[in-house]
Chain A
Amino acid sequence: MSELSNTSNTSLTIKERIILFARNNMGLISTSISILAIGLALLIGGILIAIAGINPWEAITYLIKGSFGNRYGFGETLTRFVPLLFCSLSFAIAHKSGFFNVGAEGQLLMGAVGAVLVGAYIEGLHPVIHVLLCILAGIIFGALWAGIAGVLKIFLGSDELINTMMLNYVAILLVDYLIHGPIKPPESYLYVSATILPSAKLPIILSKTPLHLGFIISLLVTAGVFYLIYRTPIGYQMRTVGANRRAASYAGINIIWATVVALLTTGGLAGMGGAMELMGTQFKIVNGFSAGYGFDGIGVAVMGRYNPIGILLAALLFAVIRVGMGAMQRGAGVPFPLLNVIQGLIIIFVIASGYLTNRLSETVIGGRA
């Protein structure tokens, strides 16, 4: 196929024209395939709504109105976007560095614990300093929680996939214990953590909505993460380790160091997401604080194909679905777990559609992508 580019356009057969078009528009094609995959997932969601005896069109109206049909809903969607984005960045950076961190859920929870400790119990700080300290605590707690799996992997060769997954369950139970005693305000009869002080709360950036400063921070962090991965020496090392461990070792890259940085970053990002959710939205930890953001993050990263623009758009879509699903539940009585059905299907369809893009690039470029 390599002589294609040298041939003038006029002498091409239709097949060659199609191949040439595909070659020049791989991004467009893989995006269209992703959109088709999402459409299929939503279609199945609609069928399930109909099975429940609910008019799908009515339900979808609630979804659209609730998520971006009015000022408050729009703000809420962008608020949900924040933890989703952090969790997907967390999964993506681990993926680029060659390991699977499916523990964002637990790391996010632990990050929230770190932030609540600093936010509720340290008094008399200037708001800017207090906010920064809370975020730092979130990052450290998330990174340490991921670090458990990291230590087990680096020193004992234990598989991080199962360990990060198990740490989710342990974190959920640990937080449940904490809000039953150690961090529960003595006067409260509910199982909740102490509420953070006003100086640790993130300011609202869009009036009459819950949208807080964490939204801006999350966009800046996204830029920072991709700068780290693609424009710094350590990012290059992490990617090399992720692409081919053996080659990285021959190239003299310190694999342990690259893995440590990757693990701390992946855990830190999820932890920061937890801190943001706490400081901007919930202000205290309740049972079900995370509600699956960690797993949603995996779907977002897969759908966004691990690139910045893709992840931003995918996080926005997942936020729309999440907020819209709440509105559908309240308005039309659609059970909320439909959220997971649609997200699971999106993950399966988008990853399966990778086959089409692979085949296409095989035909077009003559090699497997």
Chain B
Amino acid sequence: MDAAWMTTIVTWLTMSIRMSIPLLFPSLGGLISQKAGVYNFGLEGMMLCGAYFGYYGSYVTGSPWIGLLLGMVSGGLLGLLLAFTSIHLRVSQLVTGLGIGVFGLGITGYLFRLIDISTATSAATLFSNVNFGKLSSIPIFGEIFLSHNWMVYAGILLVILIAWFFYHTTSGLNFRAVGENPQVADTAGVNVVLNRYLAVVVSGILASMGGAFLTLTQTAYFTENISAGRGWIAISAIVLGKFNPWGVLLACLLFGAADAAQMQIQVMNLGIPYQFLLMIPYILAMLAMVGFVGKVRSPAAMGKPYFKH
């Protein structure tokens, strides 16, 4: 294998990891929410808010941390809205989620157009890559695994944390019980409403972090509809990952790899129309559902409002 190919493959693997992260955060968010029995179909809207407010906060203050915080607050608030309508009001989780999607698209587009983006200083300050010192100069390994910003590692750490919480703690067991059989969980003294609220709010925060990743580590600018359907692809990644945090990570890596591949093929200029390359993640999301939906068991009480008797 010649050096040019080697470089291409290393770049592809590096980008695969990087491109999987904006999907990983909303997927983990959606997973947490679904495990507790609530569908979060507002991921797309929450991502957009995270992306916009992340950008705005960083652009105004010059600190990506404040931007991220602002983005997380916006996602948490939308999560709270979804929690209230689905847990307290018990109305359609799907329609509310769609409403949040339309709202998120609108509010971010509206506020963004109020900013004077003609000025040269309208770029957001980005998170810089983690400095691993000499380790990052290890050939191949260093470039693929040690050339990222902290959010990449935080995302992977989050997978470990969530897996540990779900399967190795009592609260995690209670949490999953809320999504499997809320009546029984309630009888056993688990607070169904509290668990579900926390789940949906955390899910909103995570989704918004996925959006903030786009503007605070990748583009430095906000563009309307920047999430480009990732909030929906995330739902497919959850199914493909069989409702397991590790599975979700693998699914996101697969989507990230596809995204990275189509980007690189675009650069190679092979004469394939770019529109067809851009379709790949969406088609993959459809195929992922085809192969696995029937065989995957989702939380039993998912999408069903809980009525205390």
Contacts and interface: CB of A to CB of B under 8 A. Distances in A.
List the 5 closest A-B pairs by CB distance, nearest first: A340-B106, A344-B103, A337-B109, A347-B99, A341-B106
Interface stretch (A61-69, A153-161, A203-211): A153-161
Interface in B69-108: 81, 85, 88-92, 94-96, 98-108
B28 interface: no
B275 A341 contact: no
Contact of B102 (A180, A299, A352): A299
Interface residues of B, number: 48
Interface residues of A, number: 46
A333 B41 CA distance: 32
A345 interface: yes
B229 interface: yes
Contacts of A180: 273, 275
Given A162-B235, A335-B114, A343 B289 contact: no
The binding surface of chain B is classed by DSSP as: helix
A174 B45 CA distance: 24
A1 B161 CA distance: 52
A355 interface: yes
Interface of B: 41, 45, 81, 85, 88-92, 94-96, 98-110, 113-114, 224, 228-229, 232-233, 235-236, 239, 273, 275-276, 278-279, 282-283, 285-286, 289-290, 293-294
A81 to B, nearest CB: 19
B290 A158 contact: yes
A348 B85 contact: yes
A83 B110 CA distance: 24
B283 A170 contact: yes
Contacts of A156: 290, 293-294
A161 to B, nearest CB: 7
Contacts of A159: 239, 289, 293
A68 B89 CA distance: 36
Given A162-B286, A355-B90, A173 B278 contact: yes
Contacts of A166: 229, 232-233, 236, 282-283, 285-286
Contacts of B294: 156-157
Contacts of B98: 102, 295, 298, 347
B279 A170 contact: yes
Interface string A68-107: 0000000000000000000000000000000010100000
A57 interface: no
A152 interface: yes
Given A161-B41, A173-B279, A337-B110, 18 more contacts: A159-B293, A162-B236, A166-B232, A166-B282, A167-B282, A169-B228, A169-B279, A174-B275, A176-B275, A180-B275, A298-B95, A335-B113, A339-B106, A340-B102, A340-B105, A341-B110, A347-B96, A355-B90
